[in-house]
Structure 1
Amino acid sequence: MGIESVLRLDCKNFQKKQWMPIYRWHQVLLFTIRVLDAILTESKQNHISEAAKEPIRLLLGLASKVAKVKKSPEKLFCILNMHRSLFDATPILTRAFDAEFVKIEVGGVVAALKDSARGMLLELKILVQTYRPQHELAQGSVLTITEFLMKYIKLLVNHTGNLDPILCQGQADDLLNIEGVNLTGRLVSGIIADLESVVQESSSYVSEGLKFLFLMNNTDFVLRQVEESDVRLMVGAQWIKKSHNNIKQYMRCYLCSSWKQVVHPLETATTSSEKRLKNSFLKIFYPTPSPLRSFESALNKVCKSQMHWKVCSPVLRVELRRSVIEYVVQAYRAYRDNLEESVSGDLEDLEPNLKSKLTDLFEG
């Protein structure tokens, strides 16, 4: 998955080549269990010879060693597969061997795998909570950790049936600090909350306008990943509603911080006729740029500064672009409608040009 490189974890001792045989461990166990089951069925015996324990002992020994390695979030799913395979194999192992062997040797490895899984999840939470992005904020796009962590979370949800027994209350309280529909739901909600904190803190490193675009992009990405997967069943309708509201709020804040200064000359120009006459008299002695010229200058400046800003979601990009166009064009129309007919009639219609210029935004 590459989650460890994203979290800047030293993973040189966990190369893919070294781990591929270990990832196949559960397949080997499954094959061995099928052979044992076939022998028991054919021989119509309740137990088989001591020699048959040897391959099982070898597999258990490898699983025990894997459970002791450095707490590596990327290897969590290997641990989960081992745990699930042993759990599924226990009924046949109990039939094939004595209860003492299963209780001590198999039970000991299962307990070690559970401890290892909890340790890996705790390491993941710590790495996420202490994560700080580097050189990722220039365009305001989705953080790499946001993309990878949502993939990771979806895999966790696929292991719900296996994770719930591992996250039994009392042994994993430091992982379950948020309410949820089940133990895995509490874990997932907590990791998402940690990610949201990372995004919020990261947003303080960029300018005001880009800050809200960045928050919009990351919140929208997380929300879409949740709504398009079973994660939505874990976080609940309330979280989904809150995220939709947050995106709307970020959009309003973006419009205000980036475009209010653009339309300001037009808005201030729509004043009473008395004030306009007074200003016209003063302009004889103190000439100032026309509101329209100031507006165009501010518009060009903002468009130029935001030309490389990016909105990743095509749906969100269209919605935000439409909001910006409405915001700017409304101010322009109000200014034009407020002018005297003789003046507004001679005024060039800038609306098509405005829409064309604003349509180029947010492509990155």
Structure 2
Amino acid sequence: SKPVELEQLLKCLPSRSSAKDSAESQPNPGAVLSLPTLIDPRYVPRLSKLAQKSVQLGCHKQFVKIYRDTRSSTLELTLKQLGVEYVTAEEVQTAQAESRDAKITHWIRCLQIAVKLLFPSERALCDQIFEGKHAWKDHCFAAATSKSLLNLLSFGQAISKSKTSPDKVFLLLDMFDRTLELQSEVEAVFAGDECAENRKSASTLVKCLAQAAKKTLIDFKDSIVKESPKNTSTDGDVHPLTSYVGNYIKYLMDYQSSLKLIFQESSNGDGTKSGLVSEISGLIHAVETNLDVKAKQYKDHALGILFLMNNINYIVRSIRSSEAKDLVGDDWIQRRRRTVQQHATQYKRVAWGKVLDCLSAQGLTSSVGSATEGIAGSVGSIGSHSSTTSTSVIKARLELSFNAMCTLLCLFW
């Protein structure tokens, strides 16, 4: 037995019709694949006769052991040539992000080759050599493929156990999608009691990837709430965290069907909210909670209101422009739009109130407030606070304060 060459494996896959398909390396799931030749066809009948002869001679156990050990090591070599070896979570953790992403893409490709070509070929070979002896062929096939399958799945397990980060969820979802797509083929090729452990190993990986994706989103939600309130923009503009989460939710919608499968187990099943809706709402609520804390850091109350208005408005626009709008519903969007309008009204009231304060008697005789700082600079104390304030001082204060507040109002409106 010799390991199957990569060139032969690629020839067994259906041709791809576009450059994009080629780049993604995704074979057509509906295409009929030609299985690679593992052993020269001339020797298959001879091996079958030898298997029958071993029974007559009472040495069938030795024959079975030699066959399974030989095929097991050969299959391992084939996968090793493809770049598949046993991997630990520590090894994955130390890899650079770009290297890790490339390895995930390659792993998905190898998983497809193994499930669609290599394992079915091993099954077919066992069926031919041990024809009529179901217990033997199932045992040999399970034993010949078990170690290679574990080596193949170890990378997926390592990724699922490695340190979490918000962007990692998309890699996990890609892996979850591909393993789930292949699950029916795995069940078919590893049918029978002898292959029960192989089927269990494959299904366990699907569950681990789902749990890792779920945990990543939950951890991200918690990190949003805990994000430092000191990291606040000085001009009331949209915060980077708000724009990041808005885009994050948009990208999540590309995996909507997978996420619904992942979160359906955590749903209460009361018909009010699905698990995915609850998670998306939770992410948004975490951002809103964090924004409320950040808004309170502004010394200028009007600027804090403006900050909330801009950021909540950004969230609403992000949700409305993505498929998430169908999940959260029109009522949710309308409530948030009313909140934005309320902040806008409050901002105008507070900001214009400062302008009107400049015209009051107290405003004319007080020193210029902190709101004018950064626009006209500090003017110090002009004149006296006594009732003998001169007309020129009043004009100076009025011009400085009133114009400064109007400028400040227009800057952010």
Q: TM-score, normalised by structure 1?
A: 0.65
Q: Residue 75 of structure 1 aligns to which amino acid in structure 2?
A: K
Shift of 1:292: 8.8
Higher relative CO (Cα under 8 Å, sequence separation at least 6) belongs to: 1
Q: Which has the larger radius of gyration?
A: 2
In angstroms, what is the RMSD of aligned CA positions? 3.7
Residue 180 and residue 32 in structure 1: after superposition, are their counterparts in 2 closer, same or farther (change >3 A)? farther
In 1: Cα distance, 2:120 partner to 2:394 partner:
88
Bigger shift: residues 30-39 or 289-298: 289-298
Contact 2:316–2:336 (CA<8 Å) still a contact in 1? yes
In 2: Cα distance, 1:291 partner to 1:245 partner:
41
Matching residue of 1:21: 102
Residue 87 and residue 31 in structure 1: after superposition, are their counterparts in 2 closer, same or farther (change >3 A)? same
Secondary structure at 1:137 match in 2: coil
Contact 2:122–2:141 (CA<8 Å) still a contact in 1? no
Shift of 1:225: 0.4
Alignment partner of 2:190 out of 97, 101, 112: 97
In 2: Cα distance, 1:261 partner to 1:41 partner:
81
Matching residue of 1:189: 281
Matching residue of 1:164: 260
In 2: Cα distance, 1:201 partner to 1:162 partner:
33
Q: TM-score, normalised by structure 2?
A: 0.58
Q: Residue 217 of structure 1 aligns to which amino acid in structure 2?
A: N
Contact 2:355–2:406 (CA<8 Å) still a contact in 1? no
Matching residue of 2:317: 224
Shift of 1:21: 2.9
Matching residue of 2:240: 144
Contact 1:94–1:102 (CA<8 Å) still a contact in 2? no
Alignment partner of 1:70 out of 156, 163, 166: 163
Secondary structure at 1:73 match in 2: coil
Shift of 1:182: 2.5
Alignment partner of 1:261 out of 345, 349, 354: 354
In 1: Cα distance, 2:271 partner to 2:221 partner:
16
Shift of 1:298: 3.0
Shift of 1:235: 1.3
Shift of 1:296: 4.3
Contact 1:80–1:117 (CA<8 Å) still a contact in 2? yes
Identity %: 21
| Match status 1:301 vs 2:404 | yes
Structure 2's unaligned 5+ residue stretches are 1-92, 129-137, 362-387
Q: Residue 219 of structure 2 aligns to which amino acid in structure 1?
A: E
Structure 1's unaligned 5+ residue stretches are 1-11, 269-284, 307-323, 325-357
| Match status 1:238 vs 2:320 | no
What count of residue pairs does the alignment treat as equivalent?
A: 279
Matching residue of 1:334: none
Shift of 1:34: 4.0
